[in-house]
Structure 1
């Protein structure tokens, strides 16, 4: 199977599961009689353990030829972990299992990004057109689960995730041709520590941490917030779907839209979108404004993520892409977002939607920070 088709199917399965998990896992937890601060702690701890899982697992799968085998084993282990949720109850049991599940499953995301980045260099893969299939699957998952939860209860969050994980296992055993090939060495030291000693890369991590971390309150508590203001679960699913529809359109046109715009300008565009979006969510729950805020997901997440991918593929030597992708997943969208999710849980418990104001303030430093470029050998542009 060609890389475009393989990665598209792989992302469809991954993001179908996330379409159930991200918007509605808090509702599944609430159905287990957990409070908002307990839910914030559980989600935050889950995000934090991703940091360790991604660093450890991606540190072992540090060559392109190891990425697909790693995907196979992680998909199987993920299905086993989430099946175990059927037999747990109580805060501490759920916490223990969430630590294990979040150690394993989220690592599939940086693996998919590393595969896509490698194939962008190897076969000139159009990243945006591959990634949009994952976004489409997220819409399907969120809309389906919203309707099922409304009709049959929160147990369908977990049921749907299991179905998606079984499909994911099947996808990983399909052959890819040409297979990912290990990059030609740039002659530079590779691994996490050499990257963390580079000031440009540290500035990159700081900027993307602020942009992606500002989504913490939205990912963790938007469903609870909207439900508390009278919105049914299926409407919440439609709102999440609206955001991802906008994301799909952005991925589809990104290559043309940003062909003459650098990653620095794209980070600024993402920051503007974040300030506007979180201000709206903090100020109102009127449906027209919520729709506008959701459409801004194309800017707050998508443009920011595309800028990060552009920085890494254009500025990093090809044999440093996997460590860079790992740190991008583990720190900004892992550890940093985990801390912010836990803080958002406390804020939401005491002040409700006012927690979104903190997310708007968080991105303000991006307007004055600059991510410098890096020099890399010409030989790393191709392989």
Structure 2
């Protein structure tokens, strides 16, 4: 909901593309701080289970001010605060999943597909609400979704050592950035994921230009559907290709996807590009988490996931979102063309990702 439609919500409030890009970039900078600094610190002082109980309520509190946004300055301020808090669940869930996968309690890919399934439901539900009631309904829907997450987090769970993991805190970050293979994997993933900036900021707007309003959610949901299929099938067959190959594939597919969006001007072309999300996003995400699962000590998983969410999904995304916002006035096609060039750079870094265990 927030990732797919928030650009549309801001546009409905009268904000210009450069203002939308700036607000999204501010949110992503907040994300970088939250997941890169705050999350490792929290996991050093609290178990994963305790964080899963408490953090969703903090996110609910951070979402409420969206009801009162009035003007560009307030939009940026609220975006930054929400950006610090709501992404904390991302590295938290990934830490739980990779720790449990390392212990043989679950398979990462199929488990991660459940998150994609939830994204699918949210995309369709939010899209239908917008088509029927307008973009203004997104504010209340976002708060309600955050509240549902918080309540769900209170449900009892089976005892597991994977939920009792405490991280090494910020010191773990220092250890990781001294490992060349990890840094190469992080940089490659950051470039590829960062290239999604124009899509996340203006994808819903672009879709609304190419298809009728009632079809927008159906077109947008194709991305998480393809992501779901990728993760659900990510067992031995997919994982056997290796981290480097997955990163190269992710970069190449992302470059092709954004190039297609830069030149295609019909709904069918946009729909096809959505299917490529399985490669541009899911393959890249899977590659990084395979590296963490297999090459990083469990005590450093929180630091690794925090860095990924901070750098790849935060700082890199913020930088390229700002760039996309600057280029967008010349046409959304130009913004996507720039992101295609960015994605290609990921291929240059992938060969430096080497196994150390």
Scaled by the length of structure 1, the TM-score of the pair is 0.87
In the alignment, which residue of structure 2 is the partner of 1:159? 140
Query: In structure 2, do the counterparts of structure 1 residues 204 and 238 end up closer, same or farther at CA, with 3 Å as the change threshold?
Result: same
Deviations 1:131-180 (A, max 9, x none): 11211111111111111111111121112212211110112112322332
Over the aligned positions, Cα root-mean-square deviation in angstroms equals: 2.1
Among 331, 337, 343, the alignment partner of 1:357 is 337
Number of residue pairs the alignment of both structures matches = 354
Among 196, 200, 207, the alignment partner of 1:226 is 207
Shift of 1:64: 9.8
Tell me if structure 2 keeps the 8 A contact 1:190–1:320: no
Segments of 5+ residues of structure 2 without an aligned counterpart are none
Shift of 1:38: 0.2
Pairing 1:242-261 to 2, within 5 Å after superposition: 242-261=222-241
In the alignment, which residue of structure 1 is the partner of 2:149? 168
Secondary structure of 1:363 counterpart:
helix
- Between the aligned partners of 1:300 and 1:130, the Cα distance in structure 2 is 19
Query: In structure 2, do the counterparts of structure 1 residues 309 and 176 end up closer, same or farther at CA, with 3 Å as the change threshold?
Result: same
Deviations 1:37-82 (A, max 9, x none): 0000000110111111112321223359612222322211111221
Give yes or no for the alignment of 1:80 onto 2:88: no
Pairing 1:295-334 to 2, within 5 Å after superposition: 295-334=275-314
Tell me if structure 2 keeps the 8 A contact 1:348–1:354: yes
Give yes or no for the alignment of 1:145 onto 2:145: no
Scaled by the length of structure 2, the TM-score of the pair is 0.93
Among 158, 181, 187, the alignment partner of 1:206 is 187
Segments of 5+ residues of structure 1 without an aligned counterpart are 1-19, 377-383
Deviations 1:243-278 (A, max 9, x none): 111111111111143142111111111122112211
Give yes or no for the alignment of 1:50 onto 2:31: yes
Among 101, 107, 120, the alignment partner of 2:101 is 120
In the alignment, which residue of structure 1 is the partner of 2:112? 131
Shift of 1:181: 5.2
Secondary structure of 2:352 counterpart:
coil
Tell me if structure 1 keeps the 8 A contact 2:56–2:146: yes
- Between the aligned partners of 1:137 and 1:374, the Cα distance in structure 2 is 33
